Amino acid sequence: MAKGGWRAPVVTQALEGCYILREGKRLLSFASNDYLGLSQHPEVIRASQLATETYGAGAGASRLVSGNHPLIAQLEEALARFKGMEAACVFGSGYLANLGALRTLVERDDLVVADKLIHASLVDAAMTTRATLLRFRHNDISMAEELLAKHRSSYRNCLIVVDGVYSMDGDRARLPDLSSLCKKYESWLMVDDAHGFGILGNGRGTAESFEPAIRPEIAMGSFSKAAGSYGGYLAGSATLMQALHNHARSLIFSTGLPPAAVAASLAAIGVMQAQPQLCGRPLKLAQYFTGAMGMPRAQSAIVPLIVGESAQALMLSQRLQEKGFFLPAIRPPAVPQGTARLRAAFTALHDETQIDALVKALKQLDLQCAD
């Protein structure tokens, strides 16, 4: 374990709205990825209950054997339509989807060019392949191009991998520039949109939030965040889906999702489609917060408050808990040394009054943000 010490999960119970119960204390949480509150939505809950009653509690086998229950095909179709992609493939989780994608797309003699701050699951996924992994400084398009200019021609296929929204920084990938690089250097673009799906681009995701919309070859996302459920997906061409069914070991050698989770995700997409203003709400509230704090305008539902040292971040998180707010201290190795931070995530269940109260508490702590 790196510097920063051992950590252990703290029992946390969801209460009403954005409140949680932690170590006996009721706190207003800014730490949930349930961005639209859909884990508590009556239609989503009802759909999952009905699926359990109809199909049982578990899938019973891998999707390639007998675990491919009818709801999975419905979810894949609904998702592909919502994303405007040809087809989609549902995995047990986002982590498993990333493993499956990289394993299928690249092998020996292939190149992966990735942002320095991509999610840990993508790094793990790249490590399980025999492809060469090169990283560029966060959102540094010139450095990405330098790597491609120097190395692209030595490899067969090339995959550029980025997060749509960076989970610890809250900023977006520069997808239009990256998409141009992909054309110029004959590469595929893969976007992990765990934190953009359901929120940006009327819920469709980060790529769809640009004008014109960007169309990556591989769109990845999680149902465990804004969809309030559980599972992961990859969307792209029908040919890619066929390849996944045959090469993605994390799909082939792992049990299909429980029907309840699939039905909940399907219902969640229904809510997203019907209520684009609900999808837009977390970003609006994040921007309300950055406005009140005098910070650069939020680009997603996530706003980091960078404080520097781990001890300082932990102390500030503790002081906020004493005032009734939960903002986790994120520290190395999750983020680079010297950039420990408090991380605020805004959801459609928050309101402006609660954010005003948080801003007041932060100002009382005289938070010095090294922005």
Site for ligand PLP, rule CB under 6 A: 93-95, 98, 119, 121, 163, 167, 192, 194-195, 222, 224, 232
Instruction: Pick the closer one to ligand PLP by CB: 93 or 354.
Output: 93
Residue 312, CA atoms < 13 Å, CB-side half-sphere = 16
Residue 93 DSSP one-character state: S
Instruction: Pick the closer one to ligand PLP by CB: 221 or 316.
Output: 221
Q: How far is the CB of 93 from ligand PLP (least distance, A)?
A: 3
Residue written as tokens 């805004």?
A: 346
**Where does the chain have alpha helices with state H?**
42-55, 70-83, 94-105, 120-127, 141-151, 175-184, 238-247, 249-252, 259-274, 276-293, 310-322, 352-364
φ and ψ at 304, to 5 degrees? -85, 145
Is residue 71 helix, strand or coil? helix
Q: How far is the CB of 324 from ligand PLP (least distance, A)?
A: 27
Token pair recorded at residue 128: 């399980």
Q: How far is the CB of 257 from ligand PLP (least distance, A)?
A: 11
C-alpha span between 249 and 323 (Å, rounded): 47
Instruction: Pick the closer one to ligand PLP by CB: 181 or 345.
Output: 345
Q: What distance lies between CA 366 and its chain's CA centroid? A: 31
Is residue 121 helix, strand or coil? helix
Q: How far is the CB of 194 from ligand PLP (least distance, A)?
A: 3
Q: How far is the CB of 223 from ligand PLP (least distance, A)?
A: 7
Q: How far is the CB of 165 from ligand PLP (least distance, A)?
A: 8
Token pair recorded at residue 335: 């983020």
Instruction: Pick the closer one to ligand PLP by CB: 39 or 222.
Output: 222
Instruction: Pick the closer one to ligand PLP by CB: 267 or 316.
Output: 267
Q: How far is the CB of 346 from ligand PLP (least distance, A)?
A: 16
Instruction: Pick the closer one to ligand PLP by CB: 195 or 341.
Output: 195
Q: How far is the CB of 97 from ligand PLP (least distance, A)?
A: 7
Q: Which of 321, 315, 332, 313 has the alpha carbon at shortest distance from 358?
A: 321
Contact indicator for 370, 338 with CB cutoff of 8 Å: no
C-alpha span between 199 and 37 (Å, rounded): 12
C-alpha span between 337 and 251 (Å, rounded): 35
Residue 289, CA atoms < 13 Å, CB-side half-sphere = 29
Q: Which of 140, 136, 138, 219 has the alpha carbon at shortest distance from 177?
A: 140
